[in-house]
């Protein structure tokens, strides 16, 4: 806590009213009302006051004063109270000054229809009717004048002033670029005009504000060479300036958006989606004291017992492999996590390394809840971050029950999720649309569940809309699951951003996985890393190697090194092992005569070939195929079938690709897997004997497809081949010692970054230090591939069989069905929605009148989001290559419909089936894989 800083509220309060220094302030307008509203034009002063008010509320709701203060202190270096407070004033004043350029008479006449300025317009104005550059000019001249006269040209203040002004230049743009100094140098004007004339023209507006600026200051504008040549961004503090500039842009644009929305739609925002102390205490009380999660459904709250044992319970670590002992171990892990959170609540970086089946999601939820409780609303929102949509949806449903959350406290953020609807108090549907759009745009929900890609975009984006959320992540708890799913080439960037934001934005990060790479071993953060706290410090000894976890699945390597294995041999082995296992009886967990077997291939094409081959056998009652081209409703049917206890007496085979490895909550008896990465092998093992209620469960690893086609660029594969022999491979899987693999990868990355002649992390960090916003964003892509989205216009059912006998799971939500009804689309006689009718709505919205969309922006955005969710039920994706696209084009039938981002599969029946997905034989290429 830096007590010498003024708060944002104090800085705003000290400012004189605009009408005190802008001549005839009441004559200037900022916005016109929409055509359907009979309200006065909004004056510039009214708008600025409203923007300032929203900025203060956002800063206070998200506790940003301390975040801003700490970054300024880090950037300034010396504890100079005067300089530090002035820099904070520079930060706040970008928001205050952002629309000062609206005094441009051409803006008033052309945009505001304000004819009182008509006689002041001039021909060939260099700024036309724009206002951003003029606003930035007024900001720069006023503050550079003060820096020169009052702060003796302090270079850090000069540098900050120039770079912060970029937010004003760009507040109506879509993104920051690498050329911020070109923009602040007015290069766009210098290319068209003699800049001395432009500068003289712009300086005439200063008199309207009564600003007295030294003429020498006016001559500096448009001459950023002095900045490039004589000022240097200080290496040890540059991330603070980078983050300050992006946070400034986030606050300015968010405050401006919310203020404009309040006036234009007469819809003030009062709920910013944070947890109150009372609500935190209420959740904590329910989790720690309630007997039931849902008594009617027989769902007991097992976490009550966990909290009862946190004080004096003696950990036992039972080793007899039973389902009761497995539950004891899960409880003991939870007790350990809570105890270690309480001991280390002041730390920001935590690891949860827990074995598959150990209940990582519940452990992370308890850790997050404990942090919320201990810090008494200092932290007031939680982000859960996952690699796969299935994990997002699964965890959303799980934590809603576990933490007794209300539906309007949670939101899923991914392409398949529709527009989240809160129960608003608006009387009209239009009012609801407006608020729902705002709440989704700014994620005004205390619990957000989102993808890795979207979360790291918030940390590094140069785009305006994703950057809206940057201010929101401060003072939050962020849980990142399955960290190993990232390519190792980005691990240094991942941990760099995590460490920097944990420090600068006071974020609590919890990183968790059963196969967790310890990224703090990377040299890029060694000189500044906080120690990670291991919430299960002896997890290997006490849990991973405990027979209840380590003994769940045995690995078989008989086929591991075969070089010419045939599918028929794999099929024979699978049938023999499945027939043998069907003779075992483990009661309700696996009745006599039943078996659940899973086989996973690297390539979808091979999975399809095996599916066709194994179907020639009559041993299995059900053979199911799951891959990336299976549509979501069919995927849900398959998972529900496997989880439905009424099917447990059957003999079932699931043929799959790696889409099943994470986020699929199934419990199989036997597994077969084409070897790929060691941690990937462990992930599939996690789908077998999850509850330790069976014996002799085995995962057979074999060698069939060339994994280099998929994983050729992944260092884990090369390092495994070069440095890990069969005995070591077996040992890693048996003893769950994935550090042996990850240490090789981390050391390799460290060595790479030390080399002088390669492009490594140092070059990337230089982009951050140089405020190259676009390069920072584009050179860190967790997934860097182009996909084809194929729309299959078949009929999708409204509901499918659930995981419980007699229950149905919805495929279409009520909101989606209501939306379809508005466009006169209804379920057919089989209770299915025709894809062709859905796509027609998509085309109608694309071709609808753009002015109507502009006039009813919130409604159109809401419709777009709901339709996106509906369309995702008909879409699968393929890696985009010329070969694949040429072949796909053979099936589109109507090229006109395939111009808008989707390949519309008019002739889908020629190559696609609901149960098996795309028929790969038509493509004759492994490039059709979707993993």
CATH number assigned to the domain comprising residue 200: 1.10.3210
Mean pLDDT of 251-276: 94
Instruction: Quickly state the pLDDT bin for 371 (edges 50, 70, 90).
Output: very high
Does 7 map to a domain?
Answer: no
Token output for 618: 């009559």
Element (H, E) at 595: strand 595-600
- Range(s) of the domain holding residue 615: 549-735
| Helices (runs of H) and strands (runs of E) counted in the chain | 40, 26
d(CA 58, CA 272): 8
From first CA to last CA, the distance across the chain in angstroms is 48
Instruction: Quickly state the pLDDT bin for 783 (edges 50, 70, 90).
Output: confident
d(CA 852, CA 159): 44
Radius of gyration of the chain (CA): 30
Across all residues in the chain, what is the average pLDDT? 89
Residues 61 and 182 grouped into a single domain: yes
Express each pLDDT in 295-323 by its tens digit. Answer: 888 889 999 999 999 999 999 999 998 88
Token output for 636: 């849900």
Nearest to 681 by CA among 750, 730, 744: 730
Residues 244 and 377 grouped into a single domain: no
Does 743 map to a domain?
Answer: no
Q: What is the pLDDT of residue 10?
A: 97
Q: What is the pLDDT of residue 929?
A: 46
Token output for 514: 């059963």
Q: What is the pLDDT of residue 527?
A: 62
Instruction: Quickly state the pLDDT bin for 69 (edges 50, 70, 90).
Output: very high
Residues 81 and 173 grouped into a single domain: yes
d(CA 188, CA 659): 49
Does 104 map to a domain?
Answer: yes
Residues 617 and 716 grouped into a single domain: yes
Residues 536 and 568 grouped into a single domain: no
Higher pLDDT, 901 or 424: 901
Residues 540 and 555 grouped into a single domain: no
Q: What is the pLDDT of residue 426?
A: 44
Last residue of a domain, one of 544, 575, 609: 544
d(CA 8, CA 837): 52
757 has pLDDT over 80: no
Q: Are the C-beta atoms of residues 471 and 55 closer than 8 Å to each other?
A: no
Q: What is the pLDDT of residue 292?
A: 93
Q: What is the pLDDT of residue 751?
A: 81
C-beta atoms surrounding 437 within 10 Å: 22
Q: What is the pLDDT of residue 53?
A: 98
Express each pLDDT in 485-505 by its tens digit. Answer: 888 888 889 989 999 999 999
C-beta atoms surrounding 26 within 10 Å: 12
Pairing, β 508-513 against β 477-481: parallel
756 has pLDDT over 80: no
Token output for 461: 């984006």
Residues 618 and 633 grouped into a single domain: yes
Residues 324 and 188 grouped into a single domain: no
Residues 152 and 287 grouped into a single domain: no
**In Å, how far are 29, 248, 599, 600, 679 from 675, measured between CA atoms?**
67, 48, 11, 9, 10
Last residue of a domain, one of 544, 574, 590: 544
Nearest to 452 by CA among 496, 484, 477: 484
Does 742 map to a domain?
Answer: no
Express each pLDDT in 442-452 by its tens digit. Answer: 999 999 999 99
Express each pLDDT in 700-735 by its tens digit. Answer: 999 887 665 555 567 777 787 778 888 888 888 888
Residues 330 and 370 grouped into a single domain: yes
Q: What is the pLDDT of residue 851?
A: 47
Q: What is the pLDDT of residue 437?
A: 86
Token output for 445: 């929900």
Does 614 map to a domain?
Answer: yes
CATH number at residue 621: 3.40.50.300
Does 4 map to a domain?
Answer: no
Higher pLDDT, 751 or 202: 202
C-beta atoms surrounding 131 within 10 Å: 24
Express each pLDDT in 156-202 by its tens digit. Answer: 999 999 999 999 999 999 999 999 989 999 999 988 889 888 999 99
75 has pLDDT over 80: yes
Instruction: Quickly state the pLDDT bin for 1 (edges 50, 70, 90).
Output: low
**In Å, how far are 32, 48, 160, 248, 253 from 256, measured between CA atoms?**
15, 9, 21, 12, 5
Number of domains composing the chain = 4
36 has pLDDT over 70: yes
Token output for 119: 């006689």
758 has pLDDT over 70: no
Does 556 map to a domain?
Answer: yes
How big is the CA angle at 769 (ends 764 and 771), to the nearest 5 degrees? 95
Residues 44 and 172 grouped into a single domain: yes
Residues 235 and 259 grouped into a single domain: yes
Instruction: Quickly state the pLDDT bin for 424 (edges 50, 70, 90).
Output: low
C-beta atoms surrounding 190 within 10 Å: 15
Mean pLDDT of 397-409: 94
230 has pLDDT over 60: no
Last residue of a domain, one of 510, 544, 578: 544
How big is the CA angle at 705 (ends 700 and 707), to the nearest 5 degrees? 95
Does 10 map to a domain?
Answer: no
d(CA 546, CA 875): 43
């Amino acid at each position: 806590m830096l007590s010498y800083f003024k708060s944002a509220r104090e800085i705003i309060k000290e400012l004189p009213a605009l009408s005190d220094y802008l001549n005839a302030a009441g004559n200037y307008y900022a916005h016109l009302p929409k055509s359907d509203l009979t309200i006065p034009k909004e004056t510039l002063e009214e708008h600025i006051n409203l923007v300032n008010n929203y900025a203060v509320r956002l800063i206070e709701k998200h506790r940003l004063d301390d975040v801003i203060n700490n970054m300024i202190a880090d950037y300034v270096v010396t504890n100079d109270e005067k300089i530090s407070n002035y820099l904070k004033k520079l930060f706040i004043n970008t928001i205050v000054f952002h629309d000062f350029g609206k005094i441009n008479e051409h803006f008033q006449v052309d945009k505001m229809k304000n004819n009182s300025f008509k006689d002041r317009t001039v021909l060939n104005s260099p700024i036309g009717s724009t206002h951003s550059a003029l606003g930035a000019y007024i900001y720069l001249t006023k503050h550079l004048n003060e820096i020169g006269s009052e702060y003796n040209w302090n270079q850090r203040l000069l540098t900050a002033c120039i770079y912060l002004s970029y937010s004003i230049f760009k507040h109506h743009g879509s993104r920051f670029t690498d050329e911020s100094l070109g923009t602040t140098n007015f290069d766009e004007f210098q290319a068209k005009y003699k800049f001395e004339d432009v500068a003289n023209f712009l300086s005439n507006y200063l008199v309207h504000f009564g600003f007295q600026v030294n003429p020498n200051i006016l001559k500096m504008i448009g001459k950023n060479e002095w900045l490039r040549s004589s000022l240097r961004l200080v290496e040890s503090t540059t991330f603070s300036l980078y983050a300050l500039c992006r946070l400034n842009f986030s606050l300015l644009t968010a405050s401006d958006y919310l203020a404009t929305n309040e006036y234009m739609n007469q819809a003030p925002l009062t709920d910013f989606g944070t947890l109150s102390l009372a609500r935190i205490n209420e959740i904590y009380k329910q989790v720690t004291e309630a007997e039931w999660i849902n008594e009617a459904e027989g769902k007991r709250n097992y976490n009550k017992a966990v909290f009862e044992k946190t004080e004096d319970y003696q950990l036992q670590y039972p080793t007899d492999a039973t389902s009761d002992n497995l539950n004891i171990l899960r409880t003991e892990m939870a007790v350990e996590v809570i105890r270690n959170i309480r001991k280390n609540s002041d730390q920001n970086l935590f690891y949860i390394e827990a074995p598959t089946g150990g209940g990582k999601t519940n452990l992370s939820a308890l850790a997050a809840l404990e942090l919320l409780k201990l810090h008494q609303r200092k932290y007031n929102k939680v982000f859960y971050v996952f690699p796969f949509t299935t994990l997002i949806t699964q965890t959303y449903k799980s934590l809603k029950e576990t933490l007794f959350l209300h539906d309007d406290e949670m939101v899923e953020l991914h392409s398949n999720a529709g527009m989240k609807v809160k129960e608003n108090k608006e009387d009209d549907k239009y009012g609801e649309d407006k608020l729902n759009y705002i709440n989704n745009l700014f994620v005004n929900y205390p619990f957000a569940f989102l993808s890795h890609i979207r979360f790291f975009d918030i940390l590094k984006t140069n785009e305006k809309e994703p950057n809206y959320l940057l201010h929101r992540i401060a003072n939050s708890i962020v849980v990142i699951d399955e960290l190993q799913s990232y390519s190792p080439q980005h691990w240094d960037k991942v941990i760099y951003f995590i460490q920097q934001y944990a420090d600068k934005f006071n974020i609590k990060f919890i990183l968790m996985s059963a196969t967790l790479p310890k990224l703090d071993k990377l040299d890029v953060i060694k000189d500044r890393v906080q120690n990670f706290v291991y919430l299960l410090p002896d997890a290997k000894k006490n849990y991973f190697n405990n027979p209840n976890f380590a003994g769940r699945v045995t690995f078989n390597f008989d086929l591991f090194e075969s070089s010419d294995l045939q599918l028929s041999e794999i099929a024979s082995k699978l049938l023999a092992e499945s027939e043998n296992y069907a003779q075992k009886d483990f009661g309700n967990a696996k009745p006599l005569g039943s078996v659940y077997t899973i086989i996973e291939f690297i390539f979808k094409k091979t999975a399809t070939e095996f599916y066709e081959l194994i179907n020639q056998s009559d041993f299995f009652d059900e053979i199911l195929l799951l891959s990336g081209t299976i549509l979501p409703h069919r995927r849900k049917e398959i998972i529900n079938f496997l989880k439905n206890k009424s099917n447990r007496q059957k003999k079932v085979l699931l043929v799959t690709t790696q889409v099943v490895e994470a986020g699929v909550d199934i419990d199989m008896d036997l597994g077969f897997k084409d070897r790929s990465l060691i941690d990937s092998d462990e992930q599939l093992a996690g789908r077998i004997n999850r509850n330790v209620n069976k014996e002799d469960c085995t995962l057979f690893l074999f060698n069939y497809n060339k994994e280099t086609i998929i994983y050729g660029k992944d260092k884990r594969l090369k390092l495994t081949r070069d440095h890990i022999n069969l005995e070591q491979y077996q040992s890693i899987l048996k003893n769950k010692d994935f550090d042996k693999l990850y240490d090789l990868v981390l050391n390799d990355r460290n060595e790479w970054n030390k080399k002088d002649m390669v492009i490594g992390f140092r070059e990337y960090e230089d982009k951050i230090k140089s405020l190259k916003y676009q390069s920072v964003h584009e050179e860190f892509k967790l997934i860097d591939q182009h996909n084809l989205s194929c729309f299959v216009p078949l009929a999708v059912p409204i509901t499918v069989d659930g995981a419980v006998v007699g229950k149905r799971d919805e495929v279409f939500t009520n909101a989606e069905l209501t939306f379809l009804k508005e466009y006169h689309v209804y379920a057919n006689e089989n209770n299915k929605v025709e894809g062709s009718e859905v796509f027609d709505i998509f085309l109608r919205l694309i071709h609808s009148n753009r002015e109507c969309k502009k006039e009813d922006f919130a409604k159109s955005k809401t419709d777009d989001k709901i339709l996106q969710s509906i369309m995702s039920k008909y879409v699968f994706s393929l890696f985009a290559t010329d070969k694949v696209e040429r072949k796909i084009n053979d099936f589109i039938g109507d090229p006109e419909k395939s111009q808008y981002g989707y390949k519309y599969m008019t002739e889908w029946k020629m190559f696609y089936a609901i149960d098996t997905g795309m028929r790969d034989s038509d493509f004759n290429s492994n490039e059709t894989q979707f993993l």
